Structure 1
Amino acid sequence: MRTKSEARRDAILGVALEVFREVGFDAASMSQISARVGGSKATLYNYFTSKEELLLEAMLDSAHKHARDVMQLLQIQGDLPSQLHRFVASLLKLIDADETIQVLRVAISVGGTTDIGRRFYELGTHEVWLTIGDVLREEIDKGTLAKADPDMMATHLRCLCEAELIRNLLGAREPASDQEIGRKAQCIVDVFLKVYGKPA
């Protein structure tokens, strides 16, 4: 059962991420966040030592929640192409979301002056793809994928999935329908399996 302290921390993380997305890291203040949460700055500092720590924890919390949702799609029983399609389509939808784009822009904005961007990459997104590598390793052992470096396979799959990320970050995004996302996901899976799928 969750404690009041844990619930309070989660509420702070959710509100903080909203503020950072809306106004950016530099313009956001602990006072602004505490006012929206309902409390004092002292309350925030009881949970987080600095605005930098709060930003990192808020981004990681959001990333881990999304990662769990996306990763669960690989655990659903079915043939590998179907599992990959579900995973890729869900990931493409996440990458195309306004919230994701805004959070990544904030992370990039502080990347040159703090280690927040690097730590977010290492503790958030990178860990997910290491897990994908483990999943692909299991498929290699089962004989459903060709023998190759599973971590490199995961990197190639990631590159295919994130092909339009720069475009989105630069504001040239064209929101995709579910049908378009499904079509793109199928193309990515087809390309990936053409390289790494085991010949029948």
Structure 2
Amino acid sequence: MRTKSEARRDAIMETAVSVFREVGFDAASMSQIAARVGGSKATLYNYFSSKEELLLAALLSSADKYADDVMELVKTSGNLPTQLHRFVMSLLKLINSPDTIQILRVAISVGGTSDIGRQFYELGTHRVWSEIAAILRQEIEIGTLRVGDPDMMAMLLRSLCDADMTRNLLGAGAALSDEDAERKAQCIVDIFLRVYGAAT
């Protein structure tokens, strides 16, 4: 059970993400976030030493929640194609959602002047892709996949899933319907298994 302090910290991060999405990092202020969460700026500084620390914590918290949800999907019993399809569908829906695109723009906007972007990329996604690599390693061991570097395999899978990222960040992407997500997920899994699937 979460303590009152943990619940308060989570509420601050959730509110901060909303503010950052709406106005961007530079225009957002700790006072603005405090007013919206219902407290003083001093309270925020009891939890986070700076706006930068708050942004990174909020980003990592969102990534952790997603990682937990995705790992449950991947670990659900089923054959490898089914597991991969579930994972890719979930990832495509996440990274193509307007909320994700907005917060990624915020992270990118501070990437040139702080370490937040790099830390989020490395820490925020590391657990998911380490778990995927571990699953791929197991599939290599049982002969479902060809012998290869599971980290490299995971990187290729990630690249296929991120194919629309630049277009979306630049505002040139269209909304991803369930049908489009299904079609793209199937295509990605087919390509991946064509490259790495064990010959039968």
Tell me the residue number matched to 2:184: 184
Distance 1:187 1:37 in 2: 43
Aligned ranges 1:3-152 → 2 under 5 Å: 3-152=3-152
- AA aligned to 1:187 is C
Which consecutive segments of 4 or more residues in structure 1 shift more than 2 A?
A: none
Pairwise CA distance, 1:132: 1.2
- AA aligned to 2:40 is S
Pairwise CA distance, 1:143: 1.3
Identity value in percent: 70
State the Cα deviation string for residues 59-110 of structure 1 (Å, max 9, x = none).
1101111122122211010111011011101110111101110111000000
Distance 2:120 2:149 in 1: 25
Distance 2:134 2:198 in 1: 18
Secondary structure of the corresponding residue to residue 110 of structure 2: helix
Secondary structure of the corresponding residue to residue 111 of structure 1: coil
Distance 1:132 1:20 in 2: 30
Distance 1:106 1:177 in 2: 24
Pairwise CA distance, 1:131: 2.0
Distance 2:188 2:116 in 1: 31
Distance 1:31 1:176 in 2: 36
Of stretches 45-54 and 126-135 in structure 1, the one that deviates more from structure 2 is 126-135
Distance 1:105 1:37 in 2: 23
CA RMSD of aligned residues (A): 0.8
* Structure 2 unaligned regions, length at least 5: none
Secondary structure of the corresponding residue to residue 171 of structure 1: coil
TM-score by length of 2: 0.98
Pairwise CA distance, 1:26: 0.3
8 Å contact from structure 2 (residues 67, 127) kept in 1 = no
Pairwise CA distance, 1:14: 0.2
Of stretches 62-71 and 140-149 in structure 1, the one that deviates more from structure 2 is 62-71
Tell me the residue number matched to 1:168: 168
Aligned length: 200
Tell me the residue number matched to 1:197: 197
